[in-house]
Structure formats: structure tokens, C-alpha cells
Structure 1
Amino acid sequence: MMNSTRKGLALGLGGAALLLSGLVLAGGTEPMTATMPASLKATAALRDPAGQVRGEASFEQVGMGMRVTVTASGLTPGMHGMHVHDLGRCIPGVDPAVNKVVPFGGAGGHFDPGDSHNHDSPTAGNRYGHGGDLPMLKVGADGTGTATFTTDKVSLTGRGGVLNRSLMIHAEMDDYKSDPAGMSGARERCGVILRDNFTVRDYPLPGIQDFPEGVAYDAKKGVIYTGSAANGNIYAVNASTGATSLFSEGGAVGRSTALGLKVDVQGRLWVAGGATGAISVLSPDGAPVATLMTPPSPNPYINDLISTPGGSVYVTDSTRPVIWRVKDMKVERWLNLGGTPIKYGPGINLNGIVATPDGRYLLSIQLNTGDLWRIDTGTKAIKKVMGGLKNGDGLLLDGQTLYVARNADGVVSKVSLGADYGSGTLMMEEPLAGLRFPTTLAKVGADVVVTQGQLDKLQGGAPETPFKLTRFKTF
């Protein structure tokens, strides 16, 4: 929480000045790269509690800032608090501030990308106040209010991305200091922020605690597999119809979590078991084939795996500096990373892994540093391909293009690789229609499917349900 002096200063910087058209609000968010989709725009139709459209808000990414224009009608004259709320649900729900069902309570609390847990001024950095704390809307005697401003507290892409969240207008003015909503009263207008002219397909999952982490595609069966980081359930999703069934129940043969998934040439599904240190193999009908244990040692974290044309399966361990290999259903310590350019540190280290079509090279992303590495499977030589991909999780290699799911940043990054896979250039960071902690990717025909894992909510917080996979055209 911020001290009262700091809050008083923020309030003093607020007030009428914040309502001036064209104001730029400095939020102190992490700088965004210039690699983002052109003409990134979104719109929210603002509805009253009866469901009638009573206004509109538009959003446009302008460099590192987001320009917002709001018009709303049918409100009482005066100042009205305005915020971005966490969930894209303009439906009734429980408001924790009053502990009762209220109009638009389903939108949850204020969007808080900086984890400040504090309500503050629109000029406060996101470390000190909610990113969703916006300027107030000034409503005239005719009941119509308009506002135009630019902010870098939130954006249409990256960690502060507002796509598929809600813009809320309240009944009262915002005091910019009282938690959780500045004493701004009832929720009177709500609109879900939807990207303009952009379409994705979602595959909803049935469980309320799924937290989908891994994804793999069996082209012969037309089935997408996804696994739960929370309970180890593995679902089979018909890629055409979206019909979903439980392929293998969590807990089977000790599988309490399912992270990276891959389908081999025999149609078997390989499953990385995280902190269990296990690698599970399932038959094409879901029956257990084998549970392979890595050697006992402190703090295992088997994260992702890839099969190669030679029949080997290479496995990343995010906490122990080693790459494992499974050959003839036996686990071996294939490459000890001690003394190599890959230096392990606190947090998640090597994570996603892919192989070139001929199996000569492996590519693996180090999440905590953002470094992408190339490993020669013949000589075991290691080369740094590039940096700048922090929070890189799952990988998908499509020719000379590498797609990187960057979980906490809420984007899929497109990297153009050199002919020998030894160099890379970041081409674009794509937020799709609003990603929630994307973890892994799989190619499905000409499209890509990404998990919306929400692992940031695994240890606490309210995840958005239903959990889902999202399918999109390659970019």
C-alpha cells in the first residue's frame, strides 16, 4: 500500500487537469517494443444495466501510449469515476467492496497489471496503483459525457493489455485514494473492449480448475490435446467441431500435473510432469505406456519435450541445469549445462524446446533471461541465437519462423530465424484478441493454437472461466 503522503500528492495532481483532451498519463509501465501490429484498435459498446447501448469507447495504440475516447449518455451531470476492470463480463456479479450482487459485478475488480493492490491516481505508476485507474468522465447538463486522453498505464498489447477486459463508468466522482474504487459508487455503464476487425476461434474447456499449460496436435486424428498444470487432466479436443472429452484423468500413474505435450510418429502422447520429475507416455487411446523418472535430485522441473527423427526425445528441466534424453524408453543425462554458455539462475530457466526438421539442432528458450539458444545434437555445441524474449515459454517452429508464447507479457512473438537457425530477429508481438498468460503453441493446418494458461492465477486470484485454447491464423 502507498502511504498517505504519496496518495495525497497523486490526488493533488489529479482533478480537472486530468480531463483535458489529449492528456498523456505516465503510468511507468515497462517499455513496449515497436514490433506490434499496425493499426491496433479496439472498441467497447457501453451498456446500461438494462442492456441498452448508451455510449461507446474507442482505443488506439499510438507508440507506447493508448489513446482513449469515451462518449456516454443518460448519466447525471458531474464527475464520474472511470476504470478498466479485470474481466470482460458486463453481467451481474458479486462486488467484493459491498459483498452483494450488483450490476456489472461480473467484470471483477480493477485491472492491476503491476500487482499494486491499491487504488490511486491516473498519474501513479502501476507499481503504486491499478493500471485500470483512469481519468474521470465529465458529464454535462444534458447527461452526456465525453473524454479523450492518452495513457501508458495500460495498452492494447503486452503486460498491460486491456483487450477483452471491461471499461466501467461509475455513478460518483473518484477520490483517487480510497480502496478499492475511489468511493465512486455504483457501476452504471460497462463495455467489453474488443479488438476491431480481428477474429479468433476459442476452444472452451470444461473444468473450473484446468489451467491448460501444454498443447499438441495429432494431424491423423484431427485432435488437439491439452493438459492441466493444476491436476494433470488431459483433454482431447476435436479441432473441427470443438467437442472435448477427457483423454486421461489426472493422477493416472502418479501424474499430478501436465506441462509440455508432444505427439510422436507413433501417435503416442508424451507429457512433461513438472516438479514430479516424471515423463509420461500415453498410447493413442489414452492408456499408460510408461512413466519414466529422471534421476532423483533436488527440485526437478520437467517442463517441455520434443521428439526427433532419430527416435530420441529431448527434455528440458527448468531448475536443474541439464537436458535429458529418452532413448529406447530410458532416461539419460544427455547434456550437463554446467560450464556452458547457458547459465541457470533463480526462477524458470530452459523451458520450451523444438527441433529442426532434420533433428540436427534443438532450439530452447530461457524464460528468466529471455535468451534463445541453439544446441547441436551431434556436437552438443551451444550458440545464443538472440535475447529480448523474456517470459518466453512454449515454442513453435514453422520453417524459418519461430513463434514464442510469452506468458506474463500476454503476447505471441514472431521471430525470423537465419538459414542455420543461429540468428533471429523479432518481427512482431501479437496480442491476438487478448491473451491470458499464453504458455504453449501447436500448429493445426495453416493455423496455430495457443493455450490461455492463466498460471499467474494458479496460486491465488480468480481465473477467467471457462479456460480456453485460442486458434488463430499465422501472421
Structure 2
Amino acid sequence: MHKALTVGGFVSSFRTSLVTAGTALAAALTVICAPAQAAGARVSTAHELPGDRVYPEGITADPRTGDLYAGSYANGAVFKMTPGRRVAETFLPAGADGRDTANGLEADREGRLWVTDSTSGVFVYDLRSRELLARFDVPGSAPRFVNDLAIAPDGDVYLTDSLRAVVYRVTSEQFEEAKGGIATLVPYVDLKGALDPRADGGFSLNGIVADPSGRFLLTADMVGGDLFRLDIASGAVRRVALRGGDMLHADGLELRQGTLWVVHNTDNAISRWHVARDGASAGVERRLTDTALELPTTLVRRHGTLYVVRSQFDKGGPLGGEGRPRIPFTIAAVRGM
């Protein structure tokens, strides 16, 4: 599928879905108790990304070294950020191995970097040699938007498809079989029946995280404002009971020991939630809204600091908008959340 058509379709469905969801939820939102504002939270610039058309989307931290990696939605480049160095280096060049985008990124404990491409699937690289180890493509020809991914404690990888409303899974065994070649992604859970009704082709699932215990996954419906719990053993889906807020415009998620951080992209906001041990409910604790976040798309937590992607998608990027992006594109450091 031609990238221009894909981006256009994404923007159209994204905008339409936001308007529809906003109208439906307007009355409810007026009576929701606002979470405590994150007084004392500080937003600064941690790293700069080379290039004037980057429009970054994903980020991850190497659990072995602490290095950060960010991906470009505009051209598929991946950047490496080393602690103590402000300017990132290009780790994978634009368009490498046929990738048009670099959406979700995850580094695993085996020294591999998983990179999703919205219209293809996911590419797996060796972090040391930068060699492409394997590739998994989306099955069929129906529209797709492979978005975010999470790695469970057992090493299995789960990916959201925002247009098909499904979650794919790549098991360790499937990865070994696919080494050196191309395999097909296998749907793990179809969430269309769990989502609120919406027009065909509408955007839905976005961020996804795995519980450290290995029992469940959490994934956000950015248009409906819901959070869903997926039982890893059975695949059962249930809507998480949310207190004090919702997941409207939720993009990337980060889960650490019962605390869930969520970026709300077009709201320029980050919310922090306490998640019950069984994943059945969650309550919002704090929320930071700051235009200095520059339309955040995802985040990763490292040594008490949240590293947040400043996408600037609304500055002549995937969401259109007037004006030009601030150059260089940057990764923000948020403390106090």
C-alpha cells in the first residue's frame, strides 16, 4: 500500500474518530472529577534528533545498557541516544529494509530491537550488529496500521493493529523459525466485539503494555477512551474499570509495578494511574498538561525520569496543521510524575 494513501487514511479516520468520540463523551467528561495536577513536574529537553522531517513516534530503552532508541514515523529511521550525549546518532537509516515508518519500538533482554512499520508489520534487529534478524508481515490485504508493541516476561511479543482492532502475537518459537527470513503475523485476540461501535476503518487500539507478572496485557482504545485487559493464558478480554478519568487520546503506555503512565497525544498531557493487582481496575492519580510536550506519542521510564517523544505531528506532519515544526525534533525528560 502506498504510504501517502495510508497516512491520509490514518489522518482522516483519526480526526473523524476524535470528533465523534469528543461529542459523545462531552457530557460525561464535565462531571468526572479532575485528577490532581502534577504540581512540581518539570519538562526539559533530554536529546535532539538529527533531521528536519523526523516526526518521531516510538521510543524504548535497552534494558541492558540504558541506551534509548527512537523511531521516525516520517521515514522509518531509528536513532540511538546514549546517556550523557545530547545529540542522537542514526542507528538505522531511513527506509532501511523497506520500512516506511518506525512506530512502536521495544528492546528485549536478548539484545534485539523490535520495530513496527505501520503498513508492513514488525522488523527485528540485532542491537550490536544492526543486522535484520527476522521480519513478520501482516496477513491479507485489508487496511492495517501496526502501531505499538509490548514484550511479556516470557519473551512473547504482542502488537496492536489500530485499524483492524486486533492484537498479534509473536512467540519465541515463531521467532526462531522465522530467523533469516519473512514470516506472517498471527492474530492473537480480536477486540472488535469489545469496542464501542464505530465506522469501518476507524482508529482504535494504540498503546499496549505487559504486566510484569506475565498474567495480562493492557491496551488502550484512544478513540473510545477505554482500557482493556487481555488475559495472556486464555485471551479473554475485559474492560478495565477506570476511576477519575479515561483513556481518550491515549497513545503510548508505560507500566511499572502497578503504576501506569499514559500520554494523551492531542491533549499535550501525561496521566499517572494506579492499577489493581489483577488489572481489573485503575484510578488516576496525577495529570500533567503542558504545551511543552509538543503532541507526545509515547514514553519510557528510566531511573525515575520519563522520556517522552515530542512528535509535533500537528506542525505540517501526519496530522497536517499550520506552521513548521521546531527544529531539531527532540525527546523530552519529564520529572516529578
How far apart in 2 are the matches of 1:259 and 1:366?
Answer: 17
1:271 aligns to 2:115 (yes or no) = yes
1:359 aligns to 2:214 (yes or no) = yes
Amino acid at match of 1:351: N
Asked whether the equivalents of residues 253 and 291 of structure 1 are also in contact (C-alpha less than 8 Å), the reply is no
Secondary structure at the counterpart of residue 434 of structure 1:
helix
Asked whether the equivalents of residues 341 and 382 of structure 1 are also in contact (C-alpha less than 8 Å), the reply is no
> Which of residues 281, 291, 307 in structure 1 aligns to 2:124?
281
Structure with the higher helix share, 1 or 2: 2
Amino acid at match of 1:213: E
Label 1:253 to 1:426 Cα distance change in 2 as closer, same or farther (>3 A). same
1:395 aligns to 2:253 (yes or no) = yes
- Return the offset for 1:247: 0.2
Unaligned runs of 5+ in 2: 1-28, 176-182
Give the aligned partner of residue 333 of structure 1.
187
Give the aligned partner of residue 456 of structure 1.
314
1:244 aligns to 2:88 (yes or no) = yes
Label 1:366 to 1:237 Cα distance change in 2 as closer, same or farther (>3 A). same
Secondary structure at the counterpart of residue 253 of structure 1:
helix
- Return the offset for 1:326: 1.0
- Return the offset for 1:308: 1.3
How far apart in 2 are the matches of 1:428 and 1:365?
Answer: 18
4+ residue runs of structure 1 moved beyond 3 angstroms?
30-33, 338-347
How far apart in 2 are the matches of 1:367 and 1:454?
Answer: 18
- Return the offset for 1:209: 0.6
> Which of residues 235, 253, 278 in structure 1 aligns to 2:79?
235
**Pairs within 5 Å for 1:36-185:** 36-37=36-37
Give the aligned partner of residue 372 of structure 1.
227
Give the aligned partner of residue 445 of structure 1.
303
Amino acid at match of 1:306: A
Asked whether the equivalents of residues 274 and 284 of structure 2 are also in contact (C-alpha less than 8 Å), the reply is yes
Asked whether the equivalents of residues 297 and 308 of structure 2 are also in contact (C-alpha less than 8 Å), the reply is yes
Asked whether the equivalents of residues 271 and 280 of structure 1 are also in contact (C-alpha less than 8 Å), the reply is yes
TM-score by length of 2: 0.80
How far apart in 1 are the matches of 2:261 and 2:148?
Answer: 15
1:409 aligns to 2:272 (yes or no) = no
Amino acid at match of 1:334: Y
Asked whether the equivalents of residues 314 and 326 of structure 1 are also in contact (C-alpha less than 8 Å), the reply is yes
Secondary structure at the counterpart of residue 464 of structure 1:
coil
How far apart in 2 are the matches of 1:393 and 1:332?
Answer: 23
Q: Deviations over 1:180-207 (max 9, x none)?
A: xxxxxxxxxxxxxxxxx94534311111
Secondary structure at the counterpart of residue 455 of structure 1:
coil
Asked whether the equivalents of residues 268 and 291 of structure 2 are also in contact (C-alpha less than 8 Å), the reply is no
1:466 aligns to 2:328 (yes or no) = yes
Amino acid at match of 2:254: L
Amino acid at match of 2:286: M
Amino acid at match of 1:465: I
Secondary structure at the counterpart of residue 34 of structure 1:
coil
- Return the offset for 1:421: 1.5
1:224 aligns to 2:79 (yes or no) = no
Give the aligned partner of residue 101 of structure 1.
none
Asked whether the equivalents of residues 103 and 116 of structure 2 are also in contact (C-alpha less than 8 Å), the reply is yes
Q: Which of these two proteins has the greater Rg computed from alpha carbons?
A: 1
Q: Deviations over 1:42-81 (max 9, x none)?
A: xxxxxxxxxxxxxxxxxxxxxxxxxxxxxxxxxxxxxxxx
How many residue pairs align between the two structures? 289
Amino acid at match of 2:88: T
Asked whether the equivalents of residues 263 and 270 of structure 2 are also in contact (C-alpha less than 8 Å), the reply is yes
CA RMSD of aligned residues (A): 2.2
Label 1:344 to 1:280 Cα distance change in 2 as closer, same or farther (>3 A). farther
Percent identity, aligned pairs only? 34
How far apart in 2 are the matches of 1:307 and 1:215?
Answer: 14
Label 1:435 to 1:351 Cα distance change in 2 as closer, same or farther (>3 A). same
Larger RCO (CA under 8 A, 6+ residues apart) = 2
How far apart in 2 are the matches of 1:413 and 1:36?
Answer: 10
How far apart in 1 are the matches of 2:266 and 2:126?
Answer: 33
- Return the offset for 1:35: 2.1
> Which of residues 96, 102, 105 in structure 2 aligns to 1:258?
102
Unaligned runs of 5+ in 1: 1-29, 41-196
Amino acid at match of 2:282: G
Give the aligned partner of residue 194 of structure 1.
none
How far apart in 1 are the matches of 2:38 and 2:188?
Answer: 44
Give the aligned partner of residue 163 of structure 2.
319
Moved more, 449-458 or 359-368: 449-458
Secondary structure at the counterpart of residue 200 of structure 1:
strand
Secondary structure at the counterpart of residue 357 of structure 1:
coil
Give the aligned partner of residue 3 of structure 2.
none
1:383 aligns to 2:238 (yes or no) = yes
